[in-house]
A and B are shown apart, each in its own frame.
Chain A
Amino acid sequence: MLEVSDLGVRYGAIRAVHDVSLQAGKGELIAILGANGAGKSSTLKCIAGALKASAGTIRLDGQDVTSAKPEQMVRLGVAMVPETRDVFPDLTVSENLTLGSYIHRRNRADVESTRERMLGLFPRLRERARQAAGTLSGGEQQMLVIARALMSRPKLLLLDEPSLGLAPVVVDTIFEMIAELKRSGLTIVLVEQNAAKALSVADRAYVMRLGRIAAKGPAAEIAANTDLGALYLGG
């Protein structure tokens, strides 16, 4: 479904990502691991269209989407959950969800049924539907950005550091959700620093170091390889 080949990303003169190639098949959950600054998030933003690739290609179901804008990527079925947990703080939870379904806005009944599904999936959000999103706790905001991304009914979900800054109990809940989404058939690219958690749900994993892919393989294999621990733990 997703095929990234020889991707490069530059910030001015600095090359953040070199020659990154990765694939995700339909229904697969792939994890991109690595220390802070390894280029994981840049790779993900580039797939979402929020960053321009300086080299390489990104293909979605065989179609070249390397230079697509973020709003086009959403219409092609790609939804991004950014690490900064960008809820719109002044908008209510419900309004945040409405925006998630922007591309389906002409089909009201559809939007409402998706919203119902999301509120069923995340009961906390239902309790807080009328509340400004900025007043939610970190965990609730994370649930909201995931639910908001799902409102577009994507076929590919990009998750950037969903565990960042959350209490361990909340992290467990979020990862149960992710596993649940995978079971529902969604293709997921998960960027994480919490390698143990990510590997517990992933099918395959890529380990990035200094902007390059340093290792790749089935999640169990990556988890068993103790040498790699040093890489993704930032050693």
Chain B
Amino acid sequence: MTFAVQFLIDVLSLGGAYALMALGLVIVYGILRLVNFAYGELIMVAGYTMFLMNGSGAPWLIMALVAVAMAVAAGIATDYVAFRPVRAKSVTAVLITSFAFSTLLQNAALLFISPRPRPVPLPEIFSQTVTILGAVTPLRNLITIAAAVILLALFAWMMRSTVLGIAMRAAATNFTMARMLGVPANLIISSAFAISGFLGGVVGILWIGRIGTVVPGIGLEPLLVAFIATVIGGMRSMQGAVIGGFLLALIDTTLNYTLPQDLLKFRDAFTFSLVILILLWRPDGLIKGPASGQRT
């Protein structure tokens, strides 16, 4: 029983973080059919914002809010700097500009801050543990689960019940038709980047909370995780991204629990082998997206 609870909490907290990461990537992909390779740097921006505000004396929650706001700003900046100028011209160009923007942000952090890990302020609550049904778990894990539940619910509500959300779902199916109904393309795209930044920022704080430090390359793993989760779940489907995130966490956690010590450092190899098997079985991912897929 204790073991089951422990396992469940581990899967749900890791899965919650993965799902939010994947959702942040897929919201932009769904509309533009372009992967934002600078996505990981949104997490980096949130982390360094926390570091820079360390010692400012502000309450942690305020620092976290500012960090999320900075990630949102960085997301919108990605659109203006890397996507908008070349969007209509060529797919390859956007891939390169989004890589370039990612490199630019990372190098800015290297140059102006430090290549070495920098501490981020963490509230007391992040390092406390609780005992649930005999299982000892960091309170941080429960906070991650709660944050994931709240954000996923909020996201689902927004996509279903607000005109902007409905317009974003429509734009993900057929952007041209949405525009012919008066939905402005730039507003939808900027909103997608803002939401991506918001999810990236929140997940960044939770993610960095596990380690307590930020480095310029912090965004690489979340980007990879988000990318794989969306590939498993189906690149075009938001539910798919969430399911993919939880599934990836289930695989990772199961391997963590079952692999012998010597093999644990090869965990990713096992994970990716399983991912390949899933893709051989369902090449389009678990959930197929909307039928049509023109880009603007």
A interface with B by C-beta (< 8 Å): 48-50, 69-71, 73-75, 79-80, 82, 86, 88-91, 95, 98-100, 102-103, 105, 134, 148-149, 152
Contacts and interface: CB of A to CB of B under 8 A. Distances in A.
Contact of B163 (A48, A74, A105): A105
B169 interface: yes
A100 B176 CA distance: 13
B167 interface: yes
Nearest to B289: A90
Contacts of B292: 86
A69 B183 CA distance: 11
B166 A50 contact: no
B170 A88 contact: yes
Nearest to A81: B180
Contact of A152 (B163, B173, B181, B185): B181
A70 B166 contact: no
B178 A50 contact: no
B179 A152 contact: no
B166 A74 contact: no
B174 interface: yes
Contacts of A79: 181
Interface residues of B, number: 20
A50 B184 CA distance: 13
Contact of B180 (A70, A90, A134): A70
Contacts of B166: 91, 95, 98-99
B180 A91 contact: no
B181 A74 contact: yes
A74 B177 CA distance: 12
B167 A86 contact: no
Interface of B: 163, 166-167, 169-170, 173-174, 176-185, 290-292
Given A82-B177, A89-B290, A74 B170 contact: no
Contact of B291 (A80, A89, A95): A89
Contacts of B182: 71, 74-75, 102-103, 152
Given A99-B167, A134-B291, A88 B185 contact: no
B177 A90 contact: no
9 contacts: A69-B185, A71-B182, A74-B181, A89-B173, A95-B166, A99-B163, A102-B167, A102-B182, A105-B163
Given A88-B173, A90-B173, A91-B170, A98 B180 contact: no
B179 A70 contact: yes
A95 B161 CA distance: 9
B180 A80 contact: yes
Max chain A CB contacts within 10 Å: which of B166, B167, B180, B290? B180
B158 to A, nearest CB: 13
Contacts of A99: 163, 166-167, 170, 178, 181, 183
B177 A98 contact: no
A50 B176 contact: yes
Contacts of B169: 88, 90-91, 95
Max chain B CB contacts within 10 Å: which of A89, A98, A99? A99
A4 B220 CA distance: 53
Contacts of B163: 98-99, 102, 105
Q: Which 7 A-B pairs have the closest CB atoms?
A: A74-B182, A86-B177, A103-B182, A70-B179, A102-B182, A88-B170, A70-B180
B181 A100 contact: yes
Contacts of B178: 88, 99
Contacts of B291: 89, 134
